[in-house]
Amino acid sequence: MKKLIPAIVALVIVALMALGYMDAEHHSRLHPEAASEPLNVKATLFGHLGDAYGWEVPFNHSTRIPLPVIVRDHAGSWHVFSSDRVTGGATYDGFKIVSDPDSELSGKIVEVLDDGSEVRPWDLSITKNVACIFIAALIVIAVVMSLRRWYDREGMKAPRGGRGFVELIVDFVYFDTIRPIMGKHAPRFAPYLLTAFFMILTLNLLGLIVIFPGGANVTGNIAVTMVLALCTFALTTFNGTREYWKEIFWPEVPVWLKCPVPLMPFIEFLGIFTKPLALMIRLFANMMSGHMVVIVLVTFIFLFAQMFGTAVGGMTVVFSMAFSLFMLLLDTLISFIQAYVFTLLSALFISMALVEPHHVSE
Amino acid sequence: MQLFTPEFGLAFWMFVAFLGLYFILAKWGWPAIIKMMEDRADLIDKGVALSREAQAQLDGAKADRDKLIAEARVEQAEILREAAKMRNQIVEDAKAQATEEAQKVAEQAQLRIEQTRKEYEHQMRLEVTEVALQIAEKVLRHQMENDKAQQALVEKYLAEAENKN
């Protein structure tokens, strides 16, 4: 009996999906001009993984929440307009969005010059990802300030509910991770590390929500992770002690390893850059791949429906949804893990740059 | 590939937003929260230490109390024993005193009896002497001319009477 219920639920889903497909097929037979062109998996995939100038709304493929486009033309003057004006291939003020899915600039705004060539302008648009970043920042501020206000109001009373959860995370990240790693330097770098953790976590989780305030693949975008990694890189480099630089350029290894061929210094020097690079790639790849797998699983439904017919497409729904659900749960875990790993490694790298001479050289 | 090319605009806004977030939280958020959490942890640690100490004190007090009770018990037993001893002593003393007293009384009684008896004897002797003298008077009156043998006999009787006493 217990096994019967999921089976019935699955059957109902399949039936509903099949009905929907039949209706769609009927619709396309009636209106052959609206018949969907073959599914472009690549375009779908990268369309969802990439950035966009508008924000999709659920159950609607044409309407988008317009966002401001801020671009500088080749003459040097700035243009600010709503993304509504350039959606659907329209050109506004000489700017348009490249619709060709195979183009290198697909989905980006380009300026159409007088000679017909398209160039990429300086683009500071508030895109979907940028908007999501602002929303995440506001959420983080709200969450942290709410905890702060609780303390101001309630004194030392332990916070309840959501604030208690935030405090638990702070406890876990700061008291159990940052402080043991950084020791006496911890209070100095705690604001950066905690901010980074909460920002990444919020962005990660927002990315898992498919509708409006979420759905943007922000931490799965290399520009975002690059900025975060650069912050850690800057803190590491500018706070490096003499001992840190000495260990890079004149490490304690047998002399023949560093002179005349500076093998070890070269490797150590490379390490300065590989560490933040690893931070950048790790977060980016993890988050992007999580999104990608879910999108591919969903795409399977349409792909199979196209290849083998409606019934197969309908059947695929069950499996795709089950696996998507599993992947999304896994991604929730990964959201925490990656935010934590970024913070942990940043703390580690920064504390490595703060080394004191650990043994007296003769 | 577009996916692997960082977009400048996005990086710029991310940097701006992150920096802003950092400054806001570094000024008003994290230090206060961390300090409060540290203070609370300290308070809890102190509270635990304090309660441990109190518990230890309580345990000590309990031990002290038990010791005091035990001591009191010992003392009580001692006092009881002492009291019993004293009681016995008193009884003993009283008995001895009573015996002594009784003896004294008895002796006095004896003495009095003796005295009385001696008085009686004396009296009796006086009376007997008087009687004897009366007898002798009578004898003398009736037999003024009696021979000396009779007189000697009278004396002999008297002596005998005296000896008898």
Residue-wise pLDDT tens digits, A81-115: 888 888 777 888 888 888 777 777 878 888 888 88
Report residue A266's pLDDT band, with 50, 70 and 90 as the boundaries.
confident
Mean pLDDT of chain A: 83
The partner residue sitting opposite A50, judged by closest CB among B3, B13, B20, is: B3
Q: How many CA atoms lie within 13 A of B71 on its CB side?
A: 6
Residue A96 confidence (pLDDT)? 84
pLDDT of chain B, 165 residues: tens digit per residue: 677 888 888 899 999 999 999 999 999 889 988 998 899 889 999 999 999 999 999 999 999 999 999 999 999 999 999 999 999 999 999 999 999 999 999 999 999 888 888 888 888 888 888 888 888 777 766 665 666 777 787 788 888 888 876
Report residue A359's pLDDT band, with 50, 70 and 90 as the boundaries.
low
Torsion of CA A249, A250, A252, A255, to 10 degrees: 120
| Calpha distance A96→A126 (Å, rounded) | 16
Cβ of residue B147 closer than 8 Å to a chain A Cβ:
no
Q: Is the pLDDT of residue A294 over 60?
A: yes
Smallest Cα–Cα separation from A214: which of A314, A33, A335?
Answer: A335
A102, two tokens: 């195979």
Q: Is the pLDDT of residue A36 over 50?
A: yes
* Chain A residues lying within 8 Å of B33, measured CB to CB: 144, 147-148, 151, 167, 170
| Calpha distance B10→A123 (Å, rounded) | 9
Burial letters for A20-49: b for 16+ Cβ neighbours within 10 Å, e otherwise? ebeeeeeeeeeeeeeeeeeeeeeebbbbbb
Q: How many helices (H) and strands (E) does chain A have?
A: 10, 8
Q: How many helices (H) and strands (E) does chain B have?
A: 3, 0
Residue A33 confidence (pLDDT)? 46
- A277 vs A62, higher pLDDT: A277
CA distances from A135 to A29, A44, A52, A291, A334 (A): 43, 25, 16, 20, 21
B105, two tokens: 């009384």
Task: Count the neighbouring beta carbons within 10 Å of the beta carbon of residue A259.
Answer: 12
Q: Which helix (H) or strand (E) holds A95?
A: strand A95-97
Least confident segment among A149-153, A181-185, B107-111, B161-165: B161-165
Nearest CA in chain A to B24: A141
Q: Is the pLDDT of residue A22 over 70?
A: no
Q: Cα-flanking dihedrals φ and ψ of residue A65, to 5°? A: -75, 120
Report residue A330's pLDDT band, with 50, 70 and 90 as the boundaries.
very high
* Chain A residues lying within 8 Å of B36, measured CB to CB: 151, 156
* Chain B residues lying within 8 Å of A69, measured CB to CB: none
* Chain A residues lying within 8 Å of B21, measured CB to CB: 137, 140-141, 195, 199
Q: Is the pLDDT of residue A32 over 60?
A: no
Residue B88 confidence (pLDDT)? 92
Cβ of residue A154 closer than 8 Å to a chain B Cβ:
no
Cβ of residue A303 closer than 8 Å to a chain B Cβ:
no
Nearest CA in chain B to A179: B34
* Chain A residues lying within 8 Å of B10, measured CB to CB: 51, 127, 129-130, 221, 223-224
The partner residue sitting opposite A227, judged by closest CB among B18, B26, B32, is: B18
Residue A35 confidence (pLDDT)? 45
> How much is the average pLDDT of A22-32?
56
Residue A55 confidence (pLDDT)? 84
Question: Chain B: nearest CA to A130, how far in angstroms?
Answer: 6
Pairing of strands A78-82, A68-72: antiparallel
* Chain B residues lying within 8 Å of A107, measured CB to CB: 2
Residue B141 confidence (pLDDT)? 65
Cα A298 from chain centroid?
A: 19
Best mutation target, B5, B7, B15, B19, to test chain A (most A CBs within 10 A): B7
Cβ distance A137 to B3 less than 8 Å, yes or no, reads no
Report residue A25's pLDDT band, with 50, 70 and 90 as the boundaries.
low
> How much is the average pLDDT of A347-360?
81
Cβ of residue A175 closer than 8 Å to a chain B Cβ:
yes
Predicted structure pTM score: 0.74
Report residue A29's pLDDT band, with 50, 70 and 90 as the boundaries.
low
- A22 vs A261, higher pLDDT: A261
> How much is the average pLDDT of A225-254?
87
- Residues 114..133 of B with a Cβ closer than 8 Å to A: which? none
* Chain B residues lying within 8 Å of A126, measured CB to CB: 13
Please say whether the beta carbons of A46 and A58 come within 8 A. no
- Residues 272..291 of A with a Cβ closer than 8 Å to B: which? 288
The partner residue sitting opposite B10, judged by closest CB among A107, A144, A224, is: A224
Task: Give ipTM to 2 decimals.
Answer: 0.84
> How much is the average pLDDT of A339-357?
90
Task: Count the neighbouring beta carbons within 10 Å of the beta carbon of residue B33.
Answer: 23
Cβ distance B17 to A134 less than 8 Å, yes or no, reads yes
Cβ distance B21 to A141 less than 8 Å, yes or no, reads yes
- B96 vs A33, higher pLDDT: B96
Cβ of residue B28 closer than 8 Å to a chain A Cβ:
yes
* Chain B residues lying within 8 Å of A288, measured CB to CB: 3
| Long-range pairs for A172-177: beta carbons < 8 A, 24 or more residues apart | A173/A197, A173/A340, A173/A343, A174/B34, A174/B37, A175/B37, A175/B41, A177/A340, A177/A343, A177/A344, A177/A347
Best mutation target, B4, B15, B16, B21, to test chain A (most A CBs within 10 A): B21
* Chain B residues lying within 8 Å of A226, measured CB to CB: 6, 11
